[in-house]
Amino acid sequence: ARGSMAAGWERPPVAAALTLLLSLGVSVPGLLWGAPAARSAASLRPAALRAGEVHRLVTYIFVYEDLISLTCGAIIIWYFASSFEKNVGTVKHCFLTIAFAILSALLYLLLEIVVSRVSEVEDAKGFMPVAFATLGVSTTRSRMKKTLVFGVRVPVVLVPWFMLCIAWFIPHSSLLSNLCGLLAGEAYGLGYCFCLDFPESVGSKLDRVFPFSLLKRIPGLKYIPGSLAERRAFKSS
């Protein structure tokens, strides 16, 4: 019985798990005690960026305004971040998460100036823009032509756009920031952001240095190696 339980339970990928813990750490205190100081210090605000607070280009992905959006964000992190990390390895996942967060934020800030003139724009916050970026990468590089969505066969390339419409109904979700994340991911998937790519040999070397060498030692979490051959051997084991 113990063996079957161990076989059925799979350790979560380390970077995805830490992303979830950071989101809880940033958002939960404000939700519990009504003290949004941590959230306001981490959210994406143009005025704060102009004042030199460039950390907001990344930290906004950990910010949630209420329990519903935090729950939705946790599910999205668990599903999209975990899947992406298993496919590319922990090192590349960490690098691309930061890269997609920054690219999405810069594109959002650029388009927000125009869009805000004709419509109210929701603030960019939460992991969803990065999730849409990873979805954009996966669908543009997928070998499948069609897939099932709610029992209907649709072209794979249309799946992210269908999901974008659904995400519109999630509380405090920014359609513009999600769109920016999707555009950043599809640009990367189509090869327009080749400067963000690095060979697997570099990923394998980074696996052995700090802080990634430390991530390997966290009990209960799974470190995904940078080499494709190692990942395949890892899966088969």
Domains and CATH numbers, the chain: 14-220 (1.20.1540.10)
152's enclosing H/E stretch is strand 152-155
Instruction: Compute CA distances 139 → 60, 81, 88, whole Å.
Output: 25, 15, 15
Beta bridge partners of 154: 147
pTM above 0.95, yes or no: no
More confident: 200 or 188: 188
Per-residue model confidence as pLDDT tens digits over 212-237? 999 999 999 999 998 877 777 766 65
**Is 128's pLDDT higher than 90?**
yes
**Secondary structure class of 155 (helix, strand, coil):** strand
Q: How far apart are CA 2 and CA 8, in angstroms?
A: 10
